[in-house]
């Protein structure tokens, strides 16, 4: 049985009811609300998946928090069902109240047991809250959740962006987080058996420079954005090295 990951559970229980307020206070300097970023992440991911002619039916939102990403993920072409997993039970209560439906349900990481049935695993801003020693276990948890040949979309805050560091300093639950650079995240995923499909950087321009946002697609390979996406894949057929790395 896979040991479920843990990351600051009491802290996120404390912020469950006020999570959105605290987050909005932090990102206010960008001129945008959390929905702008949540929608933007999924829209960019949809673009990537379309290039691969891939439509996920079963989605796992790892570290779903209060479920902000749920309606956007369920809007992906082909999506049928979403499972949101989280260590904070109070956050799950909020997520179920706001976004629970026949197509979406939420449970603790401990309750969900990976069974290689997921088409797309999604994760936003979670790994910088996971203790360093537990990050490989979290990668393994996600690896085992995915059907072979399916994808994992890892979104993380870009520590090379000064604006990102400033915003994180304004958010109580992000101030002491240990960030990961894109190369560190790629290495972590590879060590867990994943293949790297693409790396993109997004959210370069704040709202007052929104007229420049059409350039973000052109600039997405440069490490300028406030966040980055690493799209990875569980190999359809594991070789001996991948099997060893995924242990």
pLDDT digits (tens, 9 = 90+) for 25-39: 666 678 878 889 999
Q: What does pTM read for this prediction? A: 0.88
Was domain 9-245 assigned CATH 3.40.50.150? yes
pLDDT of residue 174: 73
**pLDDT at residue number 199:** 98
DSSP state of 196: E
Contact residues for 53 (Cβ-Cβ < 8 A; gap 6+): none
Average pLDDT value for residue range 120-130: 95
A 10 A CB-CB count for 181 gives 14
H-assigned helices in 52-160: 70-73, 89-99, 135-145
Higher pLDDT, 178 or 155: 155
Residue 116: band (very low, low, confident or very high) from pLDDT cuts 50, 70, 90: very high
- pLDDT of 4 > 70? The answer is no
Distances, alpha carbon 150 to alpha carbons 62, 143, 235, in Å? 15, 10, 8
Do the strands 146-157 and 118-124 form a parallel or antiparallel pair, or are they unpaired?
A: parallel
**Predicted pLDDT of residue 60:** 98
Report the chain's mean pLDDT, rounded to a whole number.
87
Asked if residue 21 has pLDDT above 80, the reply is no
Report which of 229, 224, 228 is spatially closest to residue 162, judged by C-alpha positions.
Answer: 224
Q: What is the mean pLDDT of residues 202-226?
A: 94
**Structure confidence at residue 8 (pLDDT):** 46
Q: Please write the tens of the pLDDT for every residue from 72-112.
A: 999 999 999 999 999 989 889 999 999 999 999 999 999 99
Helical H segments across 34-179, by residue range: 34-51, 70-73, 89-99, 135-145, 162-170
The confidence score (pLDDT) of residue 177 equals 85
Among the ranges given (60-64, 203-207, 228-232, 234-238), the one the predictor scored with the smallest mean pLDDT = 234-238
* pLDDT of res. 2: 47
Q: Where are the domains of the chain?
A: 9-245
**What tens digit of pLDDT does each residue of 220-239 get?**
999 999 999 999 999 997 55
- Local structure of residue 4 (DSSP, 8 states): P
The mean pLDDT value for 111-137 works out to 95
Is the CB of residue 35 less than 8 Å from the CB of residue 68? yes
User: Which pLDDT score, from 0 to 100, does residue 106 have?
Assistant: 97
Cα(80)–Cα(74) distance, rounded to whole angstroms? 7
């Amino acid at each position: 049985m896979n040991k479920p990951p843990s990351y600051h559970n009491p802290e996120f229980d404390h912020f469950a009811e006020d999570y959105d307020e605290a987050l909005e206070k932090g990102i206010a300097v960008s001129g945008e609300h959390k929905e702008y970023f949540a929608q933007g992440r999924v829209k960019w991911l949809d673009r990537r998946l379309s290039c691969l002619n891939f439509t996920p039916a079963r989605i796992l939102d790892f570290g779903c928090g209060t479920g902000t990403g749920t309606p956007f993920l369920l809007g992906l072409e082909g999506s049928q069902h979403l499972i949101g997993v989280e260590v904070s039970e109070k956050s799950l209560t909020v997520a179920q109240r706001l976004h629970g439906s026949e197509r979406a349900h939420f449970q603790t990481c401990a309750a969900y047991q990976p069974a290689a049935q997921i088409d797309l695993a999604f994760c936003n801003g979670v790994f910088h809250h996971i203790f360093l020693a537990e990050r490989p276990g979290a990668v393994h948890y996600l690896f085992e959740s995915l059907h072979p040949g399916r994808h994992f979309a890892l979104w993380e805050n870009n520590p090379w962006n000064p604006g990102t560091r400033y915003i994180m300093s304004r958010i109580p639950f992000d101030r002491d987080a240990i960030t990961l650079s894109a190369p560190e995240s790629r290495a972590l995923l590879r060590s867990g058996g994943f293949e790297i499909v693409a790396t993109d950087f997004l959210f370069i321009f704040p709202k007052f420079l929104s007229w420049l946002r059409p350039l973000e697609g052109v600039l997405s390979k440069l490490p300028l954005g406030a966040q980055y996406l690493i799209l990875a894949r569980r190999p359809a057929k594991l070789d001996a090295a991948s099997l060893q790395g995924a242990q």
